[in-house]
Structures are given as C-alpha cells and as structure tokens.
Amino acid sequence: MVTKRDYYEVLGVAWDASEQEVKRAYRRMAMKHHPDRNPDDATSEEKFKEAREAAEVLMDSHKRGAYDQFGHAGLEGQGFGGFGSIVKAFFGDIFSGGGGRGRSQVQRGSDLKYILDLDLEEAVRGTNPKIKTPTQVECHECRGSGAKKGTAPTVCVQCVGMGQVNARLGFFSIQQACPRCRGAGKMIAEPCRKCRGHGRVEQQKTLSVEVPPGVDTGDRIRFSGEGEAGANGGPAGDLYVQVNVRAHAIFTRKGKNLYCEVPVNLVDAVLGGEFQVPTLDGLINLKIPEEFRSGKLLRLRGKGVNVTQDRGGGIGDLYCRVVMEPPVKAGLVMSALAMTALVISALVITALIITGLVITVLSIIA
C-alpha cells in the first residue's frame, strides 16, 4: 500500500498546535535539512520536502480542516507549493540566492511510498514482483492545465501571474503565496470536466520491481519519476518501494545469519546420533556427539544469507540451537514398566507359595 506519514508527526507538533508553533517547528526542520546545507544527502532532502509539504497544509486553515477530517484523501487535487512558496515565506532568498519570481506556478509532484511484503525465502533469493500503485497523473484532456478543452487559464489579476504577493510584517517585507490563486499565478474560469480543474487524475500504475538477493526489512528501492505528477507541468515525484520481510515459522534472521531451534530425542543426545536440520534449501542430516548438552548452538557454514557489499558482503551461517526433549510416550513406558514389575512380583510370590506347598506335601508323605 502507498502511505504518507502523518503531518503532525513529521513536524513533531500536537494536533491542536497553533500556527506559530507549526511555523517554529517547520523553521527548525528547514534549517536543519535544507538541501543547500546538506548537498548530496538524499535523506535530508526527503525530510525537507516532507516538512515543507506538512507545513503548507497545517498553516492553511482550509487544507488543515480537510486533512483533520479526511486525512491525506481530503487533500487530493489541491497540490502543494514548491520551494518558492513556503521557504521564501520564512527565509526570503537566504538559500536560493535571490530572484525567485513566479516559481510557484510549477510544482513538483509528491513522493510516494509502497510497502512490499516478502517472505524470507524471497528476500534471501531475490524476486521480481509486479505492484500496482494508485497515483496522480497528468490529465490528457486538458494536458495538465486544468482548463476546459478549447480554453486556457487566465493570469491572476492580484499577483499578475507571479503566484506570490508581498506582505508587510513590521519592518520586514516577505513574499507569500497569492491568496486569490493560491500560488498558481493563474485562474481557471471553466474547469476541465475530467479532472475538475486539478490538472491531474488518479490512475493505477503497474510496475515491475527487481528485488536483489539479500534484502531486509527497511531497505528501499527508488523509482525516479514514478510518484505523483507535478502541477502545471512540474516534474513528477519519486516512488519508494520499502521492503518488509514477514516473520518466518522456523528461522529468525539477524543480518546475514539465520537462527533456528531443533528438537532432539533425549536418547540420541546422550548416546549420539544423526538428526535432520532444516535449511532454506531443504533438510540435511547432522551428526551430534555423545553427551551433547541441551541449548548448545551448532554452526552450519554457508547456510545463511548472501548479502551485498554494503551489508558486509559474503554468505552468512545457520545456527541451530539443539533442544532435548523427553521420549514422546515416556509416561506410557513408565506405566508399562511398573505393571511388568508387579506381574513379575506376583509370579515370584506364587512360585514361592507353590514351592512351599510341594515341600509340605512331600514331608507328609515321607
């Protein structure tokens, strides 16, 4: 499934946080993770975009109300501004180096996340599943303009197509999104009937995911440009496929090693013998020495996970914890032994009585 993090969680604020608290939280996140301060850091870039998107929603009373009531579904089609709208509202041109006229018209699409559930065998050996993701794509009827076919959007009269207006804040002058066109820089008199003026429509997309051998829970595979379509001709976002490995009935994985428990008969453990051990490739026979202790780990080299170089490289091992168990029908065996002892005792007593009687009779006859 495709998921987005909760916007309040992204900024680390409570659901009833004031606009000023949201602003302060966003300022901290933006200053910490801005791409200009963290060049070539994909994680910081993603956190910055996530914080920017969350702040734009929570600082807009209309969008925040829709989000509080319907979640992310209540924001479909509304879009989010690019760097120009919210960053410049706080920092002006500190990071971008000045200029920045009318950049809010073009908006990059949102990134999406898809949780891919895999069995342990699939994660170890690799697989190539096909996934279906719901996403927003450009409307073909209006070609993303949002206007009815045969018409075109008109320039916003308030911001004159810039998408931003200047606002006074004490001695300072800041730029913010135009309240009339919401930063688009244009107005649509006759919306497209197919996309209702949004310029994007929802569509199911099928993708083939090449999962390499040795992946583990939390690993991500990036599909560039496979996220939501951008607004007003902006670039599409990215799709991140995140791996989640299901719990296995027998094996537990730790890095490149596998662990399991194997029950062994008490007699075999004491006297020594062979028993079968499960591996991902099937059962194998393993010999145990005499007087083997319960709970000891047996190591099978090369029977773990073959991992990539970024995880240390090489093939891991399989560790089997041998657990002794009593005979399956120990209680019945003990009962049978006790009954046998009673019968033997009875027979001995009977034999003694008969012997005594025979001696007595012989004495009388003599």
**pLDDT score, position 270:** 63
* H/E stretch holding 340: helix 330-365
Give the pLDDT confidence score for residue 185 in this predicted structure: 80
User: What is the assigned CATH class of domain 252-325?
Assistant: mainly beta
DSSP labels for 255-310?
TTEEEEEEEEEHHHHHH-EEEEEEETTEEEEEEE-TTPPTT-EEEETT-S-EE-GG
- Convert the pLDDT of each residue in 185-225 to its tens digit: 888 888 998 888 888 888 888 899 999 999 999 999 999 98
**Domain boundaries along the sequence of the chain:** 1-75, 252-325
Residue 63's contacts (CB-CB under 8 Å, 6 or more residues apart) are 56, 57, 75, 78
What average pLDDT values come out for the chain (366 residues) when binned by 10 residues? 75 86 86 79 86 87 76 59 44 41 60 91 93 83 86 86 75 76 83 85 87 91 85 79 92 92 73 80 81 79 84 85 68 60 76 78 72
Q: Identify the pLDDT of residue 84.
A: 43
Residue 329 confidence (pLDDT)? 52
pLDDT recorded at residue 123 = 93
Which residues are bridge partners to 274 per DSSP? 287
- For 56, the token pair is 């734009």
Give residue 127's pLDDT: 93
Q: Which tens digit of pLDDT belongs to each residue from 76-90?
A: 545 444 444 444 444
Residue count of the chain, please give it.
366
CATH code that applies to domain 1-75? 1.10.287.110
Q: What is the DSSP string of 308-327?
A: -GGGT-EE--EEEEEEEE--
Residue range 9-61, pLDDT digits in tens: 889 988 888 888 888 888 888 888 877 778 888 888 888 888 888 888 888 88
pLDDT of 177 = 82
Instruction: Single out the residue of 66, 68, 60 nearest to residue 14, CA to CA.
Output: 68
Measured CA to CA in angstroms, residue 100 lies from 105, 142, 232 at distances of 11, 27, 17
Q: Are 106 and 230 in contact (CB under 8 A)?
A: yes
